[in-house]
Structure 1
Amino acid sequence: MIPENSTGTTGRAAPRPVVGVSLKLYFGLAQTRTWLAEVAALDAVLAGLPHPVDLFVLPSFPALADARELLAGTGVGYGAQDVHWAGRGAWTGEVSADMLAETGARYVEVGHAERRRHFGETDRIVAAKTQAATTAGLVPVICAGERRAADPAAAAAETLTQVRAALAGAAPGSEVIVAYEPVWAIGAGEPAPARHVRTVAAALRGALRDHDVRGRLIYGGTAGPGTYKELAGAVDGLFLGRLAHDTEGLRTVLEEISRS
């Protein structure tokens, strides 16, 4: 949750920086438990940072109970990598936002490029999932980004379409995180150029201001040490992938963001 001395994109104070980690489907259950225990140990690091940084992790559904157990009493939040738009009914294999909230989850990822590509998720579906999440009191991590490398203006236009559609489904006054992830930079050798990200981020800030939400903006797409320093002032944090499988890499990013 955005702390009292941070008022999102519409207030005077800058939002508290935030780092998110999605494990996707890289770990099994035992490996996820080991990793979560290592993340829980980072609570001492979080408490000792010169400036506070929020941290949340998104393991696979079966590991949510483990996250609740292992992260209890720490400052690390957790959530899921997907959610269904319906609250209940004949939706075999799906998980509702209310059920996620019952697990203690705080965050939920929606609209990732892989789900759009492999499972046919559209802007309309992402908006419905955003609505379900915010209605249940969850913080949706709305993923958006252009599919192919393009000039910053074109990238901003494509990404804005996705973000505006999702935000249209957000409950008034709700908290959201927008994760700008240019698809062509996901899993690439290096992140998108800083000037490119700054241009798109400025446009996304405008979209957040246009909606009745408390929003933070993070960058993902081969993010790692040094990324935030290049983007400081443009984004509120980072969305990490495989770099954070080694929690020492995650620690390095947290400390760098805090110092920045």
Structure 2
Amino acid sequence: MGAPVVVGVSLKMYFGHRQSLDWCASVAELSRSHAAVASGAVELFVIPGYLSVPAAAEIFGSGPVAVGAQDLASEDTGAFTGEVSGVELAEVGVRVVEVGHAERRRLFGESDEVVRSKTAAALRNNMTPVLCIGESVKSDPVDAAAESMRQVVSALEGAPAGRVIVAYEPVWAIGAAEPAPAEYIRAVCAILRASVAALSGRDGSAVIYGGSAGPGLLTQLGSDVDGLFLGRFAHDTAALGRVLDEAADLAASRGKESER
């Protein structure tokens, strides 16, 4: 079996604690009944709010679904009131952690330097960073890919070796009613996949697409992406199930291509 198709979900701050756990329980049931998730052909991760992370880790247990965090501190310990360290996250079972989302940059002033320090913190604590990158203004796909890859290289400068999930989310498409045009996404992600694959010490890395992603999109994107990063469209677990079905179909087609 080749590399898995990756599907991730961030709940942001839409759900309360109880609602988050009810959703996680539904997704855990879905994942147990989904052959592609159970086999590892599709890699699924979910990112609830901080307070729900330990309980979510218990709900998913040792199964194939990874629990993530929406952010982490750049330091591992110290007098940093209100921060949550990578050490603590790893201790409670976090396996992936979102870094550098456009909302963190826009609302909380996170610079390239901050993103770089948080990426290093995730990797040194044996968590996979879900590195969010993307251009602010729609442009030519080649230029968009160049700016996105600049952000990737900047974030990984001096970081420990390890796998990275690059989440391409053009800033202008986040929260939009419709995603960016499929042709545009495919063109940018094809370049990103080739560039990320060439990075040293990043074996197994993936490039997934976010930015108003939902059911039906992965089928349009095909093998130019490694998966999707979902937001509000995955609040409905039936919609998430449809995306997992699409991911399973993509994984199967990739398997056939690798056998040729």
- The two structures have a TM-score, normalised by structure 2, of 0.90
**1:39 to 1:205, Cα distance in 2 relative to 1, 3 A:** same
Between the aligned partners of 2:62 and 2:126, the Cα distance in structure 1 is: 20
Confirm whether residue 166 of structure 1 aligns to residue 133 of structure 2: no
| Structure 1 residue 44: Cα displacement | 2.3
Equivalent positions of 1:82-231 (< 5 A) are: 82-172=71-161, 174-208=162-196, 209-214=198-203, 215-231=205-221
Structure 2: unaligned runs, 5 residues or longer: 251-260
Counterpart residue type for residue 79 of structure 2: A
| Structure-1 residue corresponding to 2:17 | 29
Q: Which runs of 5+ in 1 are unaligned?
A: 7-14
Calculate percent identity across the aligned residue pairs.
51
Distance 1:167 1:211 in 2: 11
Distance in 2 (CA, whole Å) between partners of 1:154 and 1:70 is: 42
Per-residue CA deviation, residues 192-239 of structure 1 (Å, 9 max, x unaligned), is 112211222133224311332121110001111111111111111000
What does residue range 40-79 of structure 1 map to in structure 2 within 5 Å?
40-47=28-35, 52-79=41-68
Give the superposed CA RMSD: 1.5
- Aligned residue type for 2:99: V
Deviation per residue, 1:9-29 (Å, 9 max, x gap): xxxxxx210100000000000
Q: Would the aligned equivalents of 2:193 and 2:225 in 1 still touch at CA under 8 Å?
A: no
Deviates more, 1:247-256 or 1:200-209: 200-209
Say which structure is richer in helix: 2
- Mapped contact 2:36–2:248 kept (Cα < 8 A): no
Q: Is 1:110–1:143's contact at 8 Å kept on the other side of the alignment?
A: yes
Deviation (angstroms), 1:179: 0.2
Tell me, yes or no, if the aligned pair for 1:181 and 1:219 is still in contact at 8 Å: yes
Q: How many residues align?
A: 247
TM-score (norm 1): 0.90
The amino acid that maps onto 1:180 is Y
Whole-angstrom CA distance in 2 between matches of 1:206 and 1:192 = 21
Question: Deviation of residue 169 (structure 1)?
Answer: 4.0
Q: Which amino acid aligns with 1:120?
A: G
